[in-house]
Amino acid sequence: MTPRKRTVLRAVVLWAVAPRKCETCNDLWREYAQATYEHIHIDGKIKVAALSHDFDLVAKLTPECEAAGEARRTARDAVRRHEVEAHALTDPAMT
Ligand SMILES: [Zn+2]
């Protein structure tokens, strides 16, 4: 299994097994899993473009990848913040 597939699988598994303490948890975990998928998907497209020496496409996708990475971090932080504030947890063991 490639590192990319492992990361996506981990996000999906985390989403699937995450404790559903409330509807907000459910929504935040779903958003985090989706953001992770989108980030990894764009990152994969960049790697394929680079291997194909399509540097115009790499340049076009790089800002999208950075934005997707930021969205992923924001979603992860929202989960962590909610877990701490609403459920008094400190480490949901996320990447
Ligand atoms: Zn909650």
What is the per-residue pLDDT across 36-67, written as a single tens digit (0 to 9) for each? Answer: 999 999 999 999 999 999 999 999 999 999 99
Residue 77's contacts (CB-CB under 8 Å, 6 or more residues apart) are none
Residue 51's contacts (CB-CB under 8 Å, 6 or more residues apart) are none
CB 24 within 8 A of CB 84: no
The CA 91 to ligand 1 mean position distance, Å, reads 14
The CA 85 to ligand 1 mean position distance, Å, reads 9
Running DSSP on this structure, what letter comes out for residue 18? S
The CA 77 to ligand 1 mean position distance, Å, reads 13
Q: What is the pLDDT of residues 11-43, one digit of tens each?
A: 667 666 666 678 998 899 999 999 999 999 999
The CA 29 to ligand 1 mean position distance, Å, reads 10
